[in-house]
Each structure stands twice: as structure tokens, then as C-alpha cells.
Amino acid sequence: MKNVTFRIGGVHPHDSKLSRDCAIETLPLPQTVYVSMAQHLGAPATPVVAVGDKVKVGQVLAEPAGFISAFVHSPASGTVKSIAPRADIAGKMVTHIEIAVEGDEWAEGIDLSDTLVTEIPADRAAVLEKIKKNGVVGLGGATFPTHVKLNPAPGSKAECLIINGAECEPYLTSDYRIMLERTKEIIVGAAIMQSVLGGCPCVLAIEENKPEAIQAMQKALGELPYTNIRVQQLKKRYPQGGEKQLIDAVMRRQVKSGGLPISVGAVVQNMATALAVYEAVQKNKPLITNTLTVTGDCLPLEKQHNYLFRIGIPLSAIADYAGGVPEGAAKIISGGPMMGKAISNMDAATVKGSSSILYLSYDATKRGETSACIRCGRCSDACPMGLEPFLLNRLTKAGDMEGLEKNAVQDCIECGCCLYSCPANIPLLDRIRQSKVQVMGIMRARAAAAKAAAEAAKAAKQ
């Protein structure tokens, strides 16, 4: 099998997959869970329960509040104690539904058996509705509602479905473990999405540092009745899990600035999303569980874990169950060390897209002293989007929003390759991320003004 990879930029951090051999364990429910209404891209969901209501596992707690939004379901059975703002991992106040856990009684119609269901439903509309009703979102990071992504706009056609098994972030192993332990369910989920998209080819893309997962997928494909699905081995390279980089690696097509993957005929979904689609369509199970890695360089091997968790469990409860926060932890991160976000609040609850609790020591997080840029160009060579981070940094310092937009700061995927490769230890990512937010705000305001002007002109003509 020929290894492939993307063609622009990228770096090679040590993968540090310390928890790769840790089988998935099921986390017990705490006495109270806190379910966020903003655990998907787009508008937060709108609660449909009230304080005092009794709820069951899998029951709808909240409905989508817009086209880009998702259903939210109860991860526990019990009583709704409050519906109020609560801090998320970044400290932002978000509406949560608090449930006092009183058991584990599931809603009717959810199949909890281990029986593998391989027959693909023929009714495309019914499949999409099941995916929507069960609150499935992308679990690769962006948490974009899956039913929207699987229903391209008229005039767009999927030519390839790519199932992302790169898991290129150092330390993270949750996708790797489900590829080993839930192999056939993932493939059935991929086949369901392939069918919804019209039967286009499907590629299971996995990095070469996961040979056991590659072998497991190939073996399972030989035992299942599906065609036009294959495994593609990728060279180990970061950030290969990015949509545009993965499309380039697998299809040798590049998405233009501001474009969507479907513009080049691609639809990209994560391995965990494929599993969630299987459970939603074949088992009628809402997305209330996912797999999370507890890892870090300051954790001994016996305290590395991969957990099956339910949404709404406080991170502090997970940390306590795993043995507590290690003394040597200088930083706690949700996600990987390259693109993850520092956790400011350990009382924040897990959401659908939670992927890790990562403990890093001082040695792993310290930055060298910043010095002047020497124009070496390493940041530009490393940028997978073909940007010039040193220039964006200079424009940021000058407050030149027009220049930043002209040089496509809005295309930055915040992967951190520039920061990783900079010998001067300049905080390129931090500065570029801030200016990107400002530029995108300006662009949105301009688009809104143009839309309003066009509507006013149309009204005037009438």
C-alpha cells in the first residue's frame, strides 16, 4: 500500500501515544450531570424540558435553534434541577441543564444490544432524519451537524467520502482505540454515509503509526458486504487530520480560499462520527457518549486511560476517577498539545466533542525566550495553508486589518505549525488567532451590510 500525504507545509512532532494500549473503560455517572446547550457548531439548542421534569437516558432535552444547530439528549435518568448559565472549559457562561442522576433508565426504542446490524436502510430521507433527530455532530473537532454535511446543496456532488482516522495530534488515542474495538460498527456507519451521498467511493484514511488499526479495518472490510470502500495508509505528518490537508493527501485536490470541501467533491467525516452514525441509524441511539483520552507526559503509564464517557460529566469527576491531577502538571488541556485549548475550569462538563484531558509538565509547555524574527522562513515552510506567518505577525502588530485580509489570515486553521517551527519563539499563533477573529468580524459585518443594501434596493424597485 502506497503511503500518501498532503503537499504543503506540515511538521513532525513526536506522537507520544502513551495511552495507545489502554483499552476503553466505561466511566460511571456522577450524582449530577450538566448538559450544555452549546456543544455543536452554530446556534445553541433550545431547552424543551422544565425544572422538576423527570427524564430518561436518550430523551430529548433541547431542540435545534436554527439550520446549523443540533438536538441535545439526556445522558442520565433523573430530575431536572436547574436550567441556567454555567461556565464551560474556557470560562464562558453557557446555558446548561442540570440533572440529578437517579438511575440509568433508557428511553424506549433504543437498542442497547451488541448485535451488529449491517443492512443499510434504503430511504435516504429517513436516514438523514435519524441522524438529525439523534443529535449527531462531527467529532473531529468542529462539531458541525452531520445531517447538514451529508446533504450537499443542489448542484454539488460528493465524489469521495473520506473517513478521517489520522489522529495526528500528539498524545490522543481515543480514535485509535475505537478503530480497534468498534471496527465493524465504524465501517457500517461509513457505508451508511456513503449510501446517503449516492454511493461515492469511501476511503478510510489512517496514519502509518497505527498499523494495528489499518490491519483491523482491512480484515473487517473483507468480512462485510460492502463495496467501493478501501483503507488508505497515510504518512505520519501533522496536521494531516485537517480537512483540507486530508483531501489533498487522498484526492490530490486543493480547496480554494474560502471554499468548502464539497467544492472539490469531498466530504470528510471522523471515525468517531461514523460510529455515532451507526448507533443513530442502526440502534436509534442519540449521541450522548464519546471516547476521551486521559494522558500526559507527567502521568505514569498505569494512569493513562481511554474512557467511554457520557456528556455532562464534570472534568473534575473524571480527573478524580483517574487518580487525580498529577503534581507535575503545569497545564491541563482539552484536546491535543498543538490545537487544544487550556482548561480554565475543571468543573466544566464534557460535551459531544470532548477528546481528552491532557496533563503537560512544565518542561513540555515552557517556551524559550522570544527574540527578533530573523526572516528564516521556517514558519512559511511549515504552514499547511501556504500562508506567511511572519508577515501576518508584522501586519497584526501594525493593526493592518486590510493587509491581513489581503494576505488571507482568515484561512489560518490555527494548527500551531508556525509556532512549533519558529527558532525565535515568537508567539505567532497567539497573535494571528487574535487578528483572525477581528478580520472575520469585519468580513461578516461587510457581508451583512451588503445583504441589507441588496434587500433595500430590491424593496425599492418593488
DSSP labels for 9-68?
--B------TTTT--EEEPPP-SEEEEES--SSSSPPEE---TT-EE-BT-EEEE-SSSS
Topology classification of domain 1-15+119-366? Rossmann fold (3.40.50)
Going by pLDDT thresholds of 50, 70 and 90, the confidence category of residue 264 is very high
Tell me the β-bridge partners of 229.
202
pLDDT of residue 97: 98
The cell numbers describing 58, all together, are 436518550
| For the chain, percent of residues with pLDDT exceeding 70 | 100
Pairing of the two strands 54-55 and 77-87? antiparallel
Question: What does the pLDDT average to over 136-163?
Answer: 94
Torsion angle of alpha carbons 151, 157, 159, 162, nearest 10°? -30
- Sign of the Cα pseudo-torsion (167, 34, 130, 267, in order): negative
pLDDT, tens digit (0-9, with 9 covering 90-100), for 171-226: 999 999 999 999 999 999 999 999 999 999 999 999 999 999 999 999 999 999 99
Pairing of the two strands 266-270 and 341-342? unpaired
Compute the distance between CA of residue 151 and CA of residue 145 in angstroms, rounded to an integer.
Answer: 11
Which 8-state DSSP code applies to residue 151?
Answer: S
pLDDT, tens digit (0-9, with 9 covering 90-100), for 70-102: 999 999 999 999 999 999 998 999 999 999 999
Which 8-state DSSP code applies to residue 5?
Answer: -
Q: What are the sequence ranges of the domains in the chain?
A: 1-15+119-366, 378-461
* SS3 at position 214: helix
Tell me the pLDDT of the chain averaged across its residues: 96
The model's pTM: 0.95
Burial of 445 (0-12, 13-18, 19+ CB in 10 A): exposed
pLDDT of residue 1: 64
Q: Which residue from 142, 162, 172, 158 is spatially nearest to 13, judged by alpha carbons? A: 172
